[in-house]
Structure 1
Amino acid sequence: MHGWAPDIIGAIGEPTTDAEGYLHASFTDSLTSRAAGRQGLGRIYTRSEGRDDQTTWQTRNAQHDAVLKWGRRTSGCSSGSPRSNEKDASMPDFPAFPSTTGGEFVAPSKDLVLPVGAHVDQLFRRTMTEPFVLQRLSERSYWVEVGVFATLFYVGEESVLLMDPIEHCYDGVVAAIESVTAKPLSTVVYTHFHADHIGDAPRYVEQARQDGLTLRIVASDMTARKLDAVGSVLPRPTETVAWPKGGFAFEDLGVQMHGFEWAAHTDDHSAWQLATERIVHCPDLMGPDQPPFWRFTANERFLFAERNLNEVQEMEWDFLSAGHANIGSRADVQFELGYYRDIRNAVIQAFEANPFSGFIDPSQGAHTAWFPAQLAAVAKDAVDLMRPKYGQYYGFEAGAPSNAELAAFTVFAFR
């Protein structure tokens, strides 16, 4: 990125802007778009209370310069180009973290299959500075991460299968696919209904339409029901597989779906096995090569999370594609299970040190403050107990407090 377009500079590139400049920069010239813009302006300027402070010319210039610096940094790697291990001098230093499993770190490659148990090196730096990170997992299967979202694609004889049209990642995913094949993308899978993993589906549908194709969208019938139940605006599956065990064929590849009867992440959560490839794709099960993310990867029903991990561990696979973080191995699942056991024990110990009686305070005027205060104290002590073993790993300090509080509530509520 080398700067705003001249017409945008002309519209809003002055200390004082007007309504027409805002409309030109923020909306198209269609009558519908301009009408929507004027409605927005009306809402902005009729509000008299609770308004944000007006930005200054200096602030706007600083934001402009920061965007340009980011654009120059991230636009220098075209699809399929070789990746350098050299860090961009304009980027801050990225801390190095040890492997959670003691596994090997290797540079990503679209040509060389990843050794089982290895992780992609410098992953956080790469995702912050490159349009995509691509790693081959088999003759036909590839793992790709764009930003902090990862997915999997399979190159068939005639076309490409994509596991999850991850949101806001269309350009990077398509560039990664085009760096290894010119075959069209014909099929996508919805592994569960959360929009961050399937939110780009409309773009794939539209591109298929432009190519004269009807995009095949496969999901479990549980996911299809969830999309209807929440009134999702996303495209519906064109075919479904039976819950909790089902499958479908993509050319000569068989894909098996294992739905979790007692699912932790969301009740339509499932693991999809590319059997002949020895790969399982299960977004949000865990984050390989790091301690668990916020609330154990945003689990809705944490009580069953450990059970789901054990179910996946019993399947036949060499590589785990988990939707975030690195490429997983069985050692990663074992690390995660060990973390679960340790945080449960830490929480039990912290409860003993923070009995509920110590938080009863009638002067607060409501009993509703007492239990949250106890949970917060238990979570803090549990994190302190976990830190000597896990504090060295990527993301521990950010994820551990919410994980400890979730584990604390589970220990409190279930016997």
Structure 2
Amino acid sequence: MPTVPRWASAAAVASSVAAALLVTCSTSAFAHDTCKAPGCAAGEGYHGMPEIATIGARTGKYMDIPEAAKGPAIDAAKGYRLQQLGRGLYMVTENVYQAMFLVHDRGVILADVPPPLAAFLPQAIREVTDKPVTHIVYSHAHIDHIGAAGDFVANLAKKPVIVAHEETKAILARAKDPKRPLPTLTFRDKHILEVGGQRLQLSYHGNGHEPGNIFIHAPEQRTLMVVDLIFPGWMPWRRLALAQDVPGYFAQVERIKSLDFDWLVSGHVARVGSKADVLAQHEFLLDLKAAAGKALQTTPLAEGMDPRDKSNPWAVFDHYIDRVAAQCVNTLTPKWAPRLAAFDVYIWDQCFTMEQSLRLD
């Protein structure tokens, strides 16, 4: 694992801090060029600074979305799109969020109830069947994927069975959120949900996003639903989709890569995914890890710093990490900027996250 260079000698932290520091920075577009007070932004970036705007800097025009990342258009009159993935299995999306439902002999199993889809899900299901929703499966506890479950269940004549991992139930019990009703059926490692001639295989593989995030596999339909891990055609959401365990995130992408399926419902973006999308994201992650690792090993500590700041270890390390991330961004941009939608939006996030994981995990 890459190691961080050590300071040549232990730096003493300043023994006192000024009781008050009046900083008069211009709020104009020229603030970076005119402000010389301590704490203000320098007038120039680091050597070899990427052209892609850093976190906190305003972007004038984001990169165009590659055609391969786009999905079929949404019917404006409906507001959503329904796609059949196999016998009785459908994905619903408004081209940002995705849910999935499986029709069985006696009703419907719904996987996730994202608030942006809440108004569309009843109509989408009625397009296919008038059978009742008998089960709801939670992919995980995050409100953006199940935060409409409370209202959805309240409008049903009969309460469905809500299935989730036991970690998800623990998180929701702590949250006490009526928008996310507690599961009524939980499992630890695996659960087979077999109802009315249809089958879903539910499994848990650890904390790759947050505790309780499960795999939902429809084997007959050759479809896998895993939310917030793979983003078909797109850069993952910031900080590797807010992964709580970065090595766990990498391990789960490896796990998905090894499975046999044709369709991937990822919970986000405008289209379903494929094995090719998983392979592409896996390749990007390996490149990200290699780029951050090399930058950690080859970036000199404190190079170019104001000598007066070298007694401030926080400042020395911030200066180092920023330059590591910049090198990582520069390394990845030529190959991946044309291939991944929103590369420029979150590449700085990914490089900062990766260098931190390599140093600390």
TM-score by length of structure 2 reads: 0.75
1:222 aligns with 2:167: yes
Paired with 1:128 and 1:305, the residues of 2 have a C-alpha distance of 36
Matched with 1:169 is 117
Paired with 1:388 and 1:402, the residues of 2 have a C-alpha distance of 17
Q: Deviations over 1:110-159 (max 9, x none)?
A: xxxxxxxxxxx545x64999611221111211111125111111122221
Report the secondary structure of 2:212's partner residue. Answer: coil
Q: CA deviation at 1:337?
A: 0.8
Q: Is the 8 A contact 2:302 2:320 kept in 1?
A: no
Q: Within 5 Å, which residues of 2 pair with 1:163-312? A: 163-208=111-156, 211=157, 213-233=158-178, 234-240=180-186, 242-261=187-206, 263-312=207-256
Paired with 2:278 and 2:99, the residues of 1 have a C-alpha distance of 18
Paired with 1:386 and 1:130, the residues of 2 have a C-alpha distance of 39
CA, structure 1 residues 333+178, in 2 after alignment: closer, same or farther (shift >3 Å)?
same
Q: Within 5 Å, which residues of 2 pair with 1:364-375? A: 364=309, 366-375=312-321
1:389 aligns with 2:358: no
Q: Is the 8 A contact 2:91 2:265 kept in 1?
A: yes
Q: Is the 8 A contact 1:97 1:394 kept in 2?
A: yes
1:407 aligns with 2:354: yes
Report the secondary structure of 1:154's partner residue. Answer: strand
1:156 aligns with 2:104: yes
Matched to 2:184, the amino acid is T
CA, structure 1 residues 359+184, in 2 after alignment: closer, same or farther (shift >3 Å)?
farther
Q: CA deviation at 1:348?
A: 2.3
Matched to 2:79, the amino acid is P
Paired with 1:127 and 1:276, the residues of 2 have a C-alpha distance of 29
1:378 aligns with 2:347: no
Matched with 1:99 is 68
CA, structure 1 residues 127+196, in 2 after alignment: closer, same or farther (shift >3 Å)?
farther
Paired with 2:151 and 2:291, the residues of 1 have a C-alpha distance of 46
Gaps of 5+ in 1: 1-93, 101-120
Of stretches 190-199 and 348-357 in structure 1, the one that deviates more from structure 2 is: 348-357
Matched to 2:68, the amino acid is S
CA, structure 1 residues 267+122, in 2 after alignment: closer, same or farther (shift >3 Å)?
closer
Q: Is the 8 A contact 1:291 1:394 kept in 2?
A: yes
Q: 2:282 aligns with which of 334, 337, 340?
A: 337
Of stretches 351-360 and 267-276 in structure 1, the one that deviates more from structure 2 is: 351-360
Paired with 1:396 and 1:129, the residues of 2 have a C-alpha distance of 31
Gaps of 5+ in 2: 1-62
Report the secondary structure of 1:165's partner residue. Answer: coil
Q: CA deviation at 1:321?
A: 0.7
Of stretches 162-171 and 242-251 in structure 1, the one that deviates more from structure 2 is: 242-251
Paired with 2:84 and 2:177, the residues of 1 have a C-alpha distance of 33
Q: Is the 8 A contact 1:158 1:183 kept in 2?
A: yes
Q: Is the 8 A contact 2:302 2:319 kept in 1?
A: no
Q: Deviations over 1:23-68 (max 9, x none)?
A: xxxxxxxxxxxxxxxxxxxxxxxxxxxxxxxxxxxxxxxxxxxxxx
Q: 1:327 aligns with which of 272, 297, 304?
A: 272
Matched to 1:139, the amino acid is R
CA, structure 1 residues 373+264, in 2 after alignment: closer, same or farther (shift >3 Å)?
farther
Paired with 2:210 and 2:228, the residues of 1 have a C-alpha distance of 10
Q: Is the 8 A contact 1:204 1:215 kept in 2?
A: no
CA, structure 1 residues 377+187, in 2 after alignment: closer, same or farther (shift >3 Å)?
same
Q: CA deviation at 1:95?
A: 4.6
Q: Is the 8 A contact 1:293 1:395 kept in 2?
A: no
CA, structure 1 residues 359+161, in 2 after alignment: closer, same or farther (shift >3 Å)?
farther
Q: Is the 8 A contact 2:210 2:244 kept in 1?
A: yes
How many residues are treated as equivalent by the alignment? 295
Matched to 2:273, the amino acid is G
